[in-house]
Structure 1
């Protein structure tokens, strides 16, 4: 297959996410950065796998408190997912939620709360009232409102 094969990139992305899940962000970040560069080079900036890779990197940046890097990547991912996948696609809704969470982490509740509200309404409409993601978004919105 080789290092540039999409399956190899997917495996590298999954390995980086595994590092993230066990808290080894020192290994996750450079792996995600390289994977994103390779996805962009091979598949283009708006391919769904590239968008997932960009989102994963942004979420790790948010986890380490590097909101200056996280927020622009999340904004870019949301814009591209809305354009490529549409506003109601679950990945687009996840991007909107991730951006709201980053704004909340940055203390920008004026940006976070409306995004949470829009995401919650769209999740309820698209996925149904009982979907597990609804509870997570609702909890994050309630937390942001009480901050």
Structure 2
């Protein structure tokens, strides 16, 4: 509880499985017994929802001090990060109810960066998923902050060219685009695309996705010809690799036509034979 946001702490986050005891370094403590003790001293209390808890601010602070004094701070922090990583889903629409409950605790975790490399990778995943949810909710400042934190941690632990690092950069790009910061978005998108071309190959699906995103950024800056050339290349390769009827291929073909209509110097034309009959 000490690493959570002190309000509305979901019980599901406090135990791996219901009624399964949690093992600490100095013995076996049962969750239910612990809660009885904490409630008897009014250290924690149920909210209106019987499945969530609140912890007094002073109790939370005192517990952190106690853990640090007994050399247990890193151990418990890492366990909490592990549980939160397993509980926090992606930011897709279907997951919003769960994300909404866990998001305050992810924000609290942003200030509790672990030292252990494996825990740090899990922490970065929490940051990435929380950035995804924040972006979907239009909370652009939180999205940018947590996505940037994920980039830093993943670059350190996995490398600058690791796919997880590139996805974190792409999350920052999406945030920049939502803020209308097209030039900054373009610079990062070019970096991601060039890295994927070098590491994954020019026709890897992730590379093609980067090409399509960069084309959209060109389009939003009124750079019709650059956008048209790039989306045409992505559509051709997508047709070869994914098939003519693949949703991504069809989407890129449609985007090609839409971009062409905005380029007065270029007539609207069919996409390449690889993507259209």
1:37 to 152, 169, 182: 152
Unaligned runs of 5+ in 1: none
The Cα of 1:19 is off from its aligned counterpart by 1.2
Q: Does 1:139 align with 2:254?
A: yes
Unaligned runs of 5+ in 2: 1-77, 82-113, 263-277
Higher strand share: 2
1:86 to 201, 223, 230: 201
Larger Rg: 2
Match of 1:123 in 2: 238
Alignment of 1:1-147 (within 5 A): 1=78, 3=114, 5-147=120-262
Q: Secondary structure at the match of 2:177?
A: helix
For residues 68 and 26 of structure 1, the distance between their equivalents in structure 2, rounded to whole angstroms, comes to 18
For residues 20 and 41 of structure 1, the distance between their equivalents in structure 2, rounded to whole angstroms, comes to 24
For residues 254 and 136 of structure 2, the distance between their equivalents in structure 1, rounded to whole angstroms, comes to 21
For residues 39 and 128 of structure 1, the distance between their equivalents in structure 2, rounded to whole angstroms, comes to 33
**Count of paired positions:** 147
Does the 8 Å contact 1:59/1:98 carry over to 2? no
The Cα of 1:43 is off from its aligned counterpart by 1.7
For residues 158 and 199 of structure 2, the distance between their equivalents in structure 1, rounded to whole angstroms, comes to 14
Relative contact order: is structure 1 or structure 2 higher (C-alpha 8 Å, sep ≥ 6)? 1
1:56-94 CA distance string (max 9 Å, x none): 211221121101210010000000001111111111111
Match of 2:42 in 1: none
For residues 250 and 126 of structure 2, the distance between their equivalents in structure 1, rounded to whole angstroms, comes to 30
What TM-score does the superposition give when structure 1 sets the normalisation length? 0.93
1:83-107 CA distance string (max 9 Å, x none): 1111111111111111111111111
The Cα of 1:110 is off from its aligned counterpart by 1.9
For residues 86 and 128 of structure 1, the distance between their equivalents in structure 2, rounded to whole angstroms, comes to 18
1:22-46 CA distance string (max 9 Å, x none): 2221211111112112222222211
For residues 95 and 24 of structure 1, the distance between their equivalents in structure 2, rounded to whole angstroms, comes to 24
Higher helix share: 1
Does the 8 Å contact 1:70/1:102 carry over to 2? yes
Structure 1 stretches of at least 4 aligned residues deviating more than 2 Å after TM superposition = 1-5
